[in-house]
Amino acid sequence: MKINLTDKAVSSNVEITPEGYLICDIDFARIGIQSYLNKELVSENGLLFPEKSATAIINVLRPENEVFDTASLNSFSLIPLTNGHPKGTTLLDAKTAKFYSVGTTGENVQRNGDFARLKIKVTDLDVVQSMKVNKQFSAGYTSIIEPYTAIIDGIQIHAKTTKIRGNHLAVNINNARCGNGCSIKDSKYMKTKEEILANIKIELSDDIKVALSDALSEVETDSTELVAKITDAEAQIVTLTQQLIDSKAETLTVKADWDSCKSAKEVEIQSVQAKLDDVTAKLTDSESKVYELASVRAQLIVDCKTLLPDVDTNLSNLEMKRAVVSAKCHDLKDTASLKPEAYIDGRFEALKVTPTLDALDLSNAGKRKEKTAEIIDSQVARAKANGLTI
């Protein structure tokens, strides 16, 4: 039967580092016989000895070859330190360790007489300050406990421990059952009525024995009820603690998903904004070019009509100039269409020196300006309608 357990340990060689960390050696995992309450030996299948009461004493042998097995010792290497045990019989994993960890065990785990020894480092300031000399520690671990019958040194053995695997090491633990040795968490228990009577060394009369037995029976009954209530309360605490851990883990997951989604959206928004800025810049540049080209076109129409009132303004810039030059320059009447663009531009500029404005009635400078503005507006509208093509 696989069972989660917690064992007490004692520290030595205590050192406080310049950073304020506490470092010390820990003796734990003693070999020999350990006594448990039956209720402490519980797995998913229930009590190890269901036929016995919850407060029955179960003597468990911890063999030397199991305690100092290489896999057993190595399992206590580099595991989390906790400030007290996680509530109930909770073991740590990658999901929950960050909520409890206040330090770590060292890498090397060795035998030290009847104990295993390792070094620990406590990195939480509040925990360091709360620890005192000889403050006990408690190892949390799993093991396989099997029914086993034997008598060793006159003690009846009921079970033995195998496959010990470390999970965490708790600091700030009191009330070790075995003094400076190893012990199990919550190990103080009430002795049975028979044990109390057997340990009385003076001779008692039968009447006193009966009265004392009755009184102890009442106390034992009350204690059993109290233990049951405490057990129920512990179970509720375990459930609520696990719910809290799950809730915190779920919250962290949701937050991580939100942060990831938020980051992705921010990148997407930045990309869209960059494209929008680029399009806006291009539109602004295009609009400026439209007005620039429209202004040039409007001025050219004014100049052409000044020279040739009936000029076809639907012609391109070059062809409209060519028509004016052909009409005004008699030497080019039949050959203007053969002349290159630069030649036509030169002859057209020469004609502008002495423009004829009578046909447009533009001798007045104000009218000329007004007409130019009218033509510019017309050409801008035309350019936009034709996809910015002038």
Any idea where the domains of the chain sit in the sequence? 2-189, 265-385
Cα(121)–Cα(350) distance, integer angstroms: 98
Q: Look at residue 107 and tell me whether its pLDDT is greater than 90.
A: yes
| Token pair of 100 as six digits | 């409890």
Most confident of 153-157, 175-179, 273-277: 153-157
Which of the given ranges, 87-101, 195-209, 363-377, has the highest pLDDT on average? 87-101
Q: What is the pLDDT of residue 189?
A: 37
Q: What φ, ψ does residue 205 adopt, rounded to 5°?
A: -70, 160
For 293-303, what is each residue's pLDDT tens digit? 888 999 999 99
- Residue 202 token pair: 């003076």
pLDDT of residue 370: 61
Predicted TM-score of the model (pTM): 0.45
Lowest-confidence pick of 80-94, 181-195, 357-371: 181-195
pLDDT digits (tens, 9 = 90+) for 205-258: 666 767 777 676 666 555 556 655 665 665 677 567 677 777 877 888 888 888
The dihedral built from the CA positions of residue 139, 143, 149 and 152, taken in this order, carries a sign that is negative
The pLDDT score that the predictor gives to residue 385 is 67
113 against 371, higher pLDDT: 113
Segment 283-305 shows an average pLDDT of 87
Q: Averaging pLDDT over each range in 3-17, 54-68, 128-142, 370-384, which range is the top one?
A: 54-68
Residue 336 is given by DSSP the state G
User: How far is 169 from 99, CA to CA, in rounded Å?
Assistant: 14
Alpha helix positions (H), the chain: 64-67, 70-74, 97-100, 125-130, 193-199, 206-307, 317-328, 341-352, 365-385
